[in-house]
Amino acid sequence: MSSISIIPAVVVLVASSCAAFTDVWRFKVYNALTLPLLVGGLVYHSIVGQTAGLGGSLAGMAFGFGVLIVPYMVGALGAGDVKFVMAIGAWLGLTATGAVLVIGCIATGVYAIALIVIHREYRLVWANIQLAFFRLSTIGRHFGADDQIESVQSMAKTDDRRRRLIPFSAMVSVGVVGTYVLIVWQQ
């Protein structure tokens, strides 16, 4: 894994801390954070790295979008999560964004298992797994979550949301920290 210069590292750490806070608190990542972060990453890398820097920034952004668009379309993630990962990609590029997502997804899995065990929601989990497979199997036909099925956005407004939702951007923030630790450890 390559090194990351100090300015992108600090910007992404601060932004991921803000995203983690709002995602845990409100299950929302605000456009006021994601959009300036995205544009800032593109502008920074186009100035510092010129065409090659902009290309790497666009590749990271496109990777973040490409990996998360299907989970968003089936209703498993919110749009703020997708925009946040795209913005991280704009700052960190393709390789580091991939590492952030791998570590973030591992953290998500651990968090999900903890929720299942703590709340003993085994039947609900099985029903949700079946629903996810159904949505994935029909995505080519519908290209989106069914309006009849409860979305992440509507679940975030319920009283039991802490039992049912995982703050994905907070888990991505764990991935950011984990990626930085790996980069420092390898040097």
pLDDT tens for each residue of 57-109: 999 999 999 999 988 887 788 899 999 999 999 999 999 999 999 999 999 88
Domain contains 36: yes
Q: What is the DSSP letter of 167?
A: -
Please report whether residue 70 resides in a domain. yes
- Scanning 27-121, the segments in alpha helix (DSSP H) are 31-48, 50-73, 79-119
In a domain? residue 1: no
pLDDT for res 57: 96
Q: Note whether residue 38 is domain-resident.
A: yes
Instruction: Specify the pLDDT at position 16.
Output: 97
- pLDDT tens digit sequence for 16-65: 999 999 999 988 999 999 999 999 999 999 999 888 899 999 999 999 99
Comparison of pLDDT for 121 and 136, the residue scoring more: 121
Residue 152 domain flag: yes
Q: Which residues contact 63 (CB under 8 A, 6 or more apart)?
A: 89, 94, 97, 98
| Sole residue written with tokens 């983690």 | 20
Domain for residue 55, yes or no? Answer: yes
Report the domain count for the chain. Answer: 1
Asked if residue 62 belongs to a domain, the reply is yes
Other CB atoms within 10 A of residue 47 CB: 10
How many other β-carbons are positioned within 10 Å of the β-carbon of residue 175? 26
pLDDT at residue 47, rounded to an integer: 95
Residue 74 resides in a domain:
yes
Domain that includes residue 36, residue range: 6-186
Query: Which of the four pLDDT bands, split at 50, 70 and 90, describes residue 164?
Result: low
Provide the whole-model pTM: 0.82
